[in-house]
A and B are shown apart, each in its own frame.
Chain A
Amino acid sequence: QVQLVESGGGVVQPGRSLRLSCAASGFTFSSYAMHWVRQAPGKGLDWVAVVSHDGTKKYYADSVKGRLTISRDDSKNTLYLQLNSLRPEDTAVYYCAREDVGATSAGSFNWFDPWGQGTLVTVSS
């Protein structure tokens, strides 16, 4: 079945780095744009970044630009998020999600499905 599984979270000190992974299975990974979304404890959802299906286009939320880098390895069916210069406010559950696309009479639209189970990153000294 279509599945995304995140890994790589943990406790890290401020200023340090971490790399998250998202292993995809059950679909042709290279055909889909992929996203990272995070959720701080007890808070709402925040979109973090997207990478196009071919890896050529990447977009980031302003709050993470320059510190977080999204990438993909289609040979491994894996999405990555490199987190550098971590701050306490980066503490969150990080989800990866596939961008699915469908058509209506009004045009082509996208949504996030499926999502992984999430991996918790805690930035604390």
Chain B
Amino acid sequence: DIQMTQSPSSLSASVGDRVTITCRASQSINSYLNWYQQKPGKAPKVLIYAASSLLSGVPSRFSGSGSGTDFTLTISSLQPEDFATYYCLQTYTTPITFGPGTKVDIK
């Protein structure tokens, strides 16, 4: 099975900060990597697919990069509505696996 790790597990940031979250796969997953945002009590929402393609309607302050085993999600200027937990997900092969999540909270 492909194991996904994320770093950091949590971070504190201020509105306007640039935030970067890293996701690493235990083996190459090409670009089969999604990023999801989840707020407390809500279902996850997809932000990015194919490692770097932004879903329609997702603010352009979100961006993704990487391929192979190393990926990043960047929020260029953190907004109040961005405080949430972020998960990466590999869809390269079954079993599909999520990263453990990165909680972004207010400094």
Interface string of A34-57 (1 = CB under 8 A from B): 010100000011110010000000
**Residue on A nearest B43 in the bound complex, by CB:** A115
Please, how many angstroms separate the alpha-carbon atoms of A35 and B43 in the complex? 14
What size tier do the contact residues of chain A reach?
20 to 34
Q: Are B96 and A106 in contact (CB under 8 A)?
A: no
What distance in Å separates the Cβ of B83 from its nearest Cβ neighbour in chain A?
17
Instruction: List CB contacts (< 8 Å) of B70-96 with chain A.
Output: 87, 89, 91, 94-96
Binding site for B on A (CB under 8 A): 35, 37, 44-47, 50, 59-62, 95, 102, 104, 106, 109-118
B residues neighboring A (CB under 8 Å): 1, 31-32, 34, 36, 38, 43-46, 49-50, 53, 55, 87, 89, 91, 94-101
